[in-house]
Amino acid sequence: IIAPSVDLNTPILASYDAKTMEVTPALYSGTAYKHDMLLLGHNYQSCFGKLAYLNIGDEIQFIDNHKNQFYYEVNNIFIAGEYEFDRIQSREDDWDLTMFTCTWSGKERVVIRCTLIKDVPAMMNQE
């Protein structure tokens, strides 16, 4: 996942567990193909610590293992309570990608909602 505006460029694990989450963010559920990808990560600077600095309109790029590229735009940012996981997963607002991490206190979650603006199949970006 790449967020140029906050200098974030980190791999995303295909699944998560407590041990690997110490190293890098992971897929919680969904896929880029179904427009329901939910990513989570610790708020370390090497993981999702920079999410709190994103702004509405910032671009996010996701490149999958097959080199397909998905470009998103941040369309909503909010803080969810410690036990509001249903709100994080909610589809009430329009999103194709959601990323979240703990606030610095660990009591709440920074939630970033994004909408897909463009996708580029791997066959189209070969040189």
- Residue 125: pLDDT band (50, 70, 90) is low
User: Above 60 in pLDDT, residue 67?
Assistant: yes
**pTM value?**
0.91
Q: Which pLDDT belongs to residue 109? A: 95
The upper half-sphere exposure of residue 6, i.e. CA atoms within 13 Å in the direction of its Cβ, equals 23
Name residues whose C-beta falls within 8 Å of residue 86's C-beta, 6 or more positions apart in sequence: none
Question: CA-CA distance, 120 to 100, in Å (whole number)?
Answer: 25
pLDDT bracket for residue 126 (50, 70, 90): low
pLDDT (0 to 100) of residue 70:
97
Chain segment 28-58, per-residue pLDDT in tens? 999 999 999 999 998 888 789 999 999 999 9
> Residue 108 has what pLDDT?
94
Beta strands across the sheet bearing 108-120: 8-9, 2-3, 59-63, 69-81, 108-120, 97-102, 37-40, 26-29
- Token readout for 72 is 């998103």
Q: What is the pLDDT of residue 47?
A: 85
Query: Is the predicted pLDDT of residue 106 greater than 60, yes or no?
Result: yes
68 pLDDT band (50/70/90 cuts)?
very high
| 123 pLDDT above the threshold of 70 | yes
Query: Do the beta carbons of residue 96 and residue 119 sit within 8 Å?
Result: no
Q: Is residue 24 over pLDDT 90? A: no
